[in-house]
Amino acid sequence: MSTPSRHALVPFVSVDHMMRLVLHIGVEQMMLDLALAIEADFRRWPEFDKTPRVASHSDIGVIELMPTSDGQQYGFKYVNGHPSNTRQGLQTVTAFGVLADVATGYPVLISEMTILTALRTAATSAMAAKWLAPRYARVMAMIGNGAQAEFQALAMKAVCGIEEVRLYDIDPAATRKCAANLAGRGLRVVSCATAEDAILGAQIITTCTADKQYATILTDNMVGGGVHINAVGGDCPGKTELHRDILLRAGIFVEYPPQTRIEGEIQQLAPDHPVTELWQVICGTAKGRRDAGQVTLFDSVGFAIEDFSALRHVHKCLQGTGFYQELDMIADPDDPRDLFGMLCRAEAAASAA
């Protein structure tokens, strides 16, 4: 049986490889680099194919495909969201992704994206806060202390200079977990008994809860002027975290309006309620924060371009490392028109063995 040629072997980054790569680079440095990579792709936003993610919803969760292309490379992510999984000892969110060459259609990378999604989500949050949060922001409240919390806190530290994170979760065990994981990482960590306590003195408020339902994590009277809200948890139809009145007085910034109006906090508003696309702020064609007293809201639902950026960055970082294995995924017959002949030769080789 013939040995696959090099161009038929596809690099695969397993969970173990991803962890080794991230630790090799450094967690904060990885998220800082990802934020820069995502920002660079936001600056060329018009070059990308864009579509709302393809979602299959059930009563207990959602399974989604998130595709995009810049004309040179194509990427997609498979991702689920099942909040009840934690009761079975399973992850709420799991994912994997593929990066491919448009010219040939051949995949050039397959990667786990459970860890990478957490990294890129936090990097995107921090990138948005860099453009929208008050410049003096040094304190962040983290409402919801589950799987995303530590990533969000460290990304805000690396990109925005956050010095203190104030934690709250309805499950005290989650807060204890988060505080323990963040210990010794250069942040003042304050565990709080209520959401109201957590937001005291915070210039950035991040909400990241898991329940798939309309919820009010922040009420209007909890949010004073001059703060930036990073709303991460509302990311599918019927799932929100903020009271509608907050939205009515905030400057709202989104990734891709056709998707965010279906899945984000703004599903609570009229379809024509004005929002600003974040890429326009980064490119200087739209205004970000207007003044020190404004409430800004990044209605983050996650978009395929961010995953594309993350996959391309990982592909680049793999060069010269051993943090991947090569998969024999692509049939590579001697004659491209004789695929069946390849099977015949394998049959003959097996019979001779």
196 is a domain residue: yes
d(CA 35, CA 51): 22
Q: What is the sign of the dihedral through the CA atoms of 118, 122, 123 and 125? A: positive
Q: How many CB atoms sit inside 10 A of residue 185's CB?
A: 14
Tokens encoding 224: 């004073």
Q: How far is CA 160 from the centre of its chain?
A: 17
Domain with 297, as residue range(s), is 123-302
Residue 7 pLDDT exceeds 70: no
Phi, psi of 139 (to 5 degrees): -125, 130
Instruction: Please tell me which residue in 33, 41, 70, 235 is annotated as part of the active site.
Output: 235
Count the domains in the chain.
2
Give 219's pLDDT tier (boundaries 50, 70, 90). Answer: confident
In this model, does residue 329 exceed pLDDT 50? Answer: yes
Q: What share of the chain in percent tops pLDDT 70?
A: 96
68 and 182 share one domain: no
Residue 180 is assigned to a structural domain of this protein:
yes
Give the model's pLDDT for residue 8: 79
237 and 179 assigned to the same domain: yes
185 with 220, same domain: the answer is yes
CATH number where 336 lies? 3.30.1780.10
At 61 the pLDDT is 87
Where residue 3 falls among pLDDT bands split at 50, 70, 90?
low
> Tell me: the pLDDT tens digits for 298-324?
999 999 999 999 999 999 999 999 999
| Structure tokens that stand for 351 in this block | 């019979």
- When pLDDT is averaged across residues 263-269 and rounded to a whole number, the result is 92
Confidence at residue 210, expressed as pLDDT on a 0 to 100 scale: 66
Q: Is 328 an active-site residue?
A: no
Lowest mean pLDDT among 35-44, 213-222, 271-280, 281-290: 213-222
Average pLDDT on 69-75 reads: 98
User: Is 69's pLDDT higher than 90?
Assistant: yes
pLDDT recorded at residue 209? 83
Residues 104 and 164 occupy one common structural domain: no
The SS3 assignment for 56 reads: strand
- Same domain, residue pair 173 and 279: yes
**Whole-number Å distance between alpha carbons of 49 and 51:** 7
- Contact between 75 and 100 under an 8 Å Cβ cutoff? The reply is yes
Identify the pLDDT of residue 56. 92
pLDDT at 211 over 80: no
Q: Name the domain boundary from 266, 282, 302.
A: 302
Mean pLDDT of 229-244: 82
Residue 116: pLDDT over 70 = yes
Q: What is the pLDDT of residue 273?
A: 97
Mean pLDDT over the full length of the chain? 94
267 falls within a domain:
yes
pLDDT exceeds 90 at position 235: no
Choice between 119 and 4, residue whose per-residue pLDDT is larger? 119
